Structure 1
Amino acid sequence: MQETRGDERFMKVLILGATGVVGKAALERALGDRGVGQVIAPTRRSLAPHPKLINPVAQELDLLLPDAHVWEVDAVICAMGTTIRKAGSKAAFRHVDYALPIAFSKEAYQKGAQALALVSSPGASLSIPLFYCRTKGEVERDIQKIGFESVTIVRPGMIGGERNEFRLAERMVLPVAKLLHPLLPRALRVNPAANIADVLVDSVLAPKPGVRLATSRDLV
């Protein structure tokens, strides 16, 4: 839980998805924030060491769940996400985008975390029959049911940043979107990963009761 040094208090934050484009930006922002005393970032491959960072590593993140109760964090930032193509199947996609976020968030809440920020999708919906959109809608719905005092759901549009994976559509569209940036409506502009990270970190460091939604127009 919160560390105290003198009269200052420092938060302990769990970051899920710290190897993705948004997760990396959130990790960098959190590690550099003086209000954060420690970051727990479970990953499948090791991260660069940092004095504030605890980096549990396992090829399958499920193997780290039994240890999650000892982390005792104050807040959760969930930037986990994949594509059906990369995951290999709908079941594998749902595991990454739904099952793991819910499982880790429940563990954090049970040990006292009261704030959560979730990266979702502008297509998240319980009424759209598309599997991707429905899964995103379900994780938004069920993350709110866990009981966190403060929940921030971020639905970015096109994300600007360096990915470790190749996504053809983004490689084709991003340069055009950047060129036309001043002419596009705010909702259609590229959302820099650093901007998304700022919203995620700020929302858990200074949490407000209830549920808030940040969309593409808030992230440009």
Structure 2
Amino acid sequence: MHNNNTGKSLLVLGGSGLVGMEILRQALADPHVSRVIAPTRRPLPTAVNHYAHLDNPQVDFDNLPEDADWWHCDAALCALGTTRKHAGSREAFRLVDRGYVSTCARLARRAGTRTFVLNSAVGASPRSGSFYLRVKGEVEQDLSAMDFRSLSLLRPSLLDGARPEDRPGELVGLLVSRTFKPLIPKRLRAVKATDVAAAMLQAALIAPVGRHVIESDAIARRR
């Protein structure tokens, strides 16, 4: 449900994660945004939860409230995701990174939301030999079939930022990326989470018509 005519209403999915939290910070400070809805399993920290125009409903992603009025918004931004290690199995990983994302997108589209922005991954393809990238490609395919007026798929490389949970493998990757940056192709260099969030917010507010893929090396240039 739209708040008023002075700004846009945004649905932020995955608001407790690295990119999602940065989307929230930037969206809540943006004068073009009048309402932000961020459904999460647990309440968001007070650092963002004190804003009057933030709604933070607690939800069970296995049993989402299909008729909630907040599925209808100007744009939905999705940063939902986990890792195989944290999920515990391939099936659990697919449930989050494809199942939850596709279900949320379907409910938003059914409610009348016409713009969707996804934080995907560099190399995402349903034909990838990597299980992780194959699931990312499959969910991109799901969204592309949902008839959004504007669909933006961001494919960042390794994310550079302070995660709320430990990911030792990513820390090693970041160290290598920073040390050998001049030798690494631009599309594979680490990209700042703040830049990914800014590019996602820009895509949501501009809402370019059609399906748009934004590769990692183009994300920082959009700032």
Superposed, which structure 2 residues align to 1:62-73 within 5 Å?
Answer: 62-73=62-73
Identity across aligned pairs (percent)?
37
**1:4-39 Cα deviation digits (max 9, x unpaired):** 35xxx3111111111111111111111111111111
Q: 1:53 maps to which residue?
A: 54
Q: Which residue identity lines up with residue 8 of structure 2 in the other structure? A: M
Residue 91 of structure 1 corresponds to which residue in structure 2?
A: 91
Residue 22 of structure 2 aligns with an amino acid whose one-letter code is: A
> Is there any run of 5+ residues in structure 1 with no aligned partner, and where?
none
Residues 68 and 108 of structure 1 are in contact (CA less than 8 Å); yes or no, is this contact kept in structure 2? no
Q: Hey, which bits of structure 1, 4+ residues long, moved more than 4 A?
A: none
SS of match in other structure, 1:64: coil
Residue 37 of structure 2 aligns with which residue? Answer: 40
- Name the amino acid aligned to 2:100: L
* Partner in structure 2 of residue 131 of structure 1: 131
TM, length-normalised to structure 2: 0.90
RMSD of the alignment, in Å? Answer: 1.7
1:15 counterpart SS class = strand
Map residues 1-220 of structure 1 onto 2, 5 A cutoff.
1-4=1-4, 9-47=6-44, 48=46, 49=49, 50-58=51-59, 60-181=60-181, 184-220=184-220
Q: Secondary structure at the match of 1:33?
A: coil
Is the partner of 1:143 in helix, strand or coil? Answer: helix
TM-score, normalization by structure 1: 0.91
Distance 2:140 2:170 in 1: 24
Inter-CA distance 44–3: structure 2 relative to 1 (3 Å threshold): closer
Q: Which runs of 5+ in 2 are unaligned?
A: none
Q: CA deviation at 1:66?
A: 2.8
Judge conservation of contact 2:71–2:107 (CA < 8 Å) in 1. no
Specify whether residues 151 and 43 from structure 1 end up closer, same or farther in structure 2 by C-alpha distance, changes over 3 A only.
same
